[in-house]
């Protein structure tokens, strides 16, 4: 979001930092959506934030997005949107020797018209409830944003899914069965690549 290496941030030393630790991307940096706004872009954030939220000034809309729908910490349970960050032991300034609280639900919505926003009450589902599974609800949100963008203004969507970088629960519980089935398209492509490799190897020998 800033084009700079974030190694100075506490988030790189202790993932899932709780809101009580005053860490986040320094407010002195101008983030990409704020720059894009000067060129007429409409910008939306969906999914993972992890740029700080201990004050509203660090949240997505304050950093230039028109809307935000996702989780503000570094991770969550895909199904319930529960984050145990407050229970994470962090040996960094402000951590007071480590946090031992239980955690909190983290699914937040905000916009220019609704700032600093509100928690999405009722979306903290249970294991197996695909209506609240993060991979699905964030995908639906992106589709809705694109379809609703009838303006001639350029559009920027910053969509960060939790699924690729991390699974917050045991692997067997992190994804619905439909998401775990192999893609027939990718399978066909892989087979063509293997066949092509075999043909090349045969011609070389």
List the CATH number of the domain containing 143. Answer: 3.40.720.10
Q: Does any domain span residue 188?
A: no
Half-sphere exposure of 117 (CA within 13 A, CB side): 27
The predicted-structure confidence for 76-120, as pLDDT tens digits, reads as follows 888 888 876 655 555 544 444 444 456 677 899 999 999 999 988
Which range scores top for mean pLDDT: 76-85, 144-153, 174-183?
144-153
First-residue to last-residue Cα distance in the chain: 49
Q: Say what the pLDDT of residue 170 is.
A: 40
Q: Does any domain span residue 195?
A: no
Average pLDDT, the chain: 76
Q: Does any domain span residue 100?
A: yes
The pTM for the full model equals: 0.76
Q: Does any domain span residue 193?
A: no
**Whether the predicted pLDDT of 160 surpasses 80:** yes
The predicted-structure confidence for 23-56, as pLDDT tens digits, reads as follows 788 898 999 999 999 999 999 999 999 888 888 9
Domains of the chain: total? 1
Q: Does any domain span residue 169?
A: yes
Q: Say what the pLDDT of residue 15 is.
A: 60
Q: Does any domain span residue 149?
A: yes
Range of the domain at 103: 10-175
Q: Say what the pLDDT of residue 85 is.
A: 62
Q: Does any domain span residue 131?
A: yes
* Residue with the larger pLDDT of the pair 192 and 114: 114
Q: Does any domain span residue 116?
A: yes
């Amino acid at each position: 979001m800033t084009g700079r290496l974030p190694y100075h941030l506490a988030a790189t030393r202790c993932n899932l930092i709780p809101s009580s630790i005053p860490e986040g991307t320094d407010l002195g940096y101008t983030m990409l959506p704020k720059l894009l706004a000067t060129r007429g872009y409409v910008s939306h954030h969906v999914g993972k934030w992890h740029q700080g939220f201990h004050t509203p000034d660090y949240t997505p809309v304050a950093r230039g997005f028109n809307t935000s729908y996702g989780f503000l910490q570094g991770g969550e349970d895909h199904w319930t949107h529960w984050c145990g960050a407050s229970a994470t032991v962090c040996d960094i300034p402000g951590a007071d020797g480590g946090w031992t609280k239980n955690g909190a639900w983290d699914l937040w919505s905000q916009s220019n018209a609704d700032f600093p926003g509100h928690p999405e009450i009722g979306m903290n589902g249970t294991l197996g409830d695909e209506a609240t599974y993060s991979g699905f609800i964030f995908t639906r949100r992106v589709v809705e944003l694109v379809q609703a963008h009838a303006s001639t203004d350029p559009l920027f969507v910053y969509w960060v899914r939790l699924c690729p970088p991390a699974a917050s629960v045991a692997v067997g519980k992190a994804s619905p069965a439909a998401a775990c089935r192999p893609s027939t398209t990718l399978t066909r492509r892989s087979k063509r690549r293997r066949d092509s490799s075999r043909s090349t190897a045969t011609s070389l020998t």
